[in-house]
Chains A and B, each alone.
Chain A
């Protein structure tokens, strides 16, 4: 079992829809959770981080964390074509380092 698993994708949504990206992790002692966006040929850029159970909203983005279920998600409301990218989930665990998922590729169709 991978330490961090994401929807295999690719995920395609129409413009204006809600995109839902999911991530599960195996280390129950994990403390910090991150979502990065990576455009093709570019490096990852941080879009959200969350440390506590519940929801955290930033503009069109909402991160949701459920430590009991070892699950973190990212919702993108009013999806735009510019949101088309690969989204990486990262988890900071007890080993003192971040582990990244393989990513989910999102395409938003106009």
Chain B
């Protein structure tokens, strides 16, 4: 089975902090994704990556950046955390474009 591991289930940070969310997959998948999920707004794509050192903006990239130095690891960075970034963050991976995505357990991030 595909395993997508997110580093934290729950995280509390302060406004203005730089926040790192880590995601690791163990199935040699090419593609990795970061989403946030908010009540009433559904699942929204922040950034995605088709290959090492490649990144593409999703629908809501503002305030975020990503890093993919190794194929198995995709990091989401909140440059200067704000309260409106309080959300559930979900990482996913897929073998290739147009193929099913497998999700991690999610990180519930609270910015105070």
What is the chain A residue whose CB lies nearest that of B40?
Answer: A102
Q: Could you write out 10 A-B pairs with CB less than 8 Å apart?
A: A43-B106, A45-B103, A46-B101, A49-B100, A88-B42, A96-B50, A97-B48, A98-B33, A100-B42, A101-B42
A-side residues, CB < 8 A to B, are 31-32, 34, 42-46, 49, 51, 88, 90, 92, 96-103
Q: Is the interface of B mostly helix, strand, loop or mixed?
A: loop
Q: How large is the interface on B (under 10, 10 to 19, 20 to 34, 35 or more residues)?
A: 20 to 34
How near does chain A come to B40, taking the closest CB pair, in angstroms?
8
B97 beta carbon closer than 8 Å to chain A: yes
- Chain A residues closer than 8 Å to B42, beta-carbon distance: 88, 100-103
How near does chain A come to B107, taking the closest CB pair, in angstroms?
10
B90 beta carbon closer than 8 Å to chain A: yes
- Cα-based distance from A87 to B90 in the complex (angstroms): 16
A92 touching B97 by the CB < 8 A rule? yes
- Chain A residues closer than 8 Å to B58, beta-carbon distance: 97
Contact of A43 among B40, B48, B104 (CB under 8 A): B104
A44 touching B48 by the CB < 8 A rule? no
The interface bits of chain B over 52-68 (1 if a CB of A lies within 8 angstroms of the residue's CB, else 0) are 00001010000000000
- Cα-based distance from A31 to B100 in the complex (angstroms): 12
Q: Which 4 A-B pairs have the closest CB atoms?
A: A100-B43, A32-B98, A102-B42, A43-B103
A32 touching B43 by the CB < 8 A rule? no
- Cα-based distance from A33 to B101 in the complex (angstroms): 11
- Chain B residues closer than 8 Å to A101, beta-carbon distance: 42
How near does chain B come to A14, taking the closest CB pair, in angstroms?
27
- Cα-based distance from A51 to B48 in the complex (angstroms): 22
A32 touching B103 by the CB < 8 A rule? no
- Chain B residues closer than 8 Å to A88, beta-carbon distance: 42-43
A44 touching B103 by the CB < 8 A rule? yes
How near does chain A come to B67, taking the closest CB pair, in angstroms?
19
How near does chain B come to A48, taking the closest CB pair, in angstroms?
9
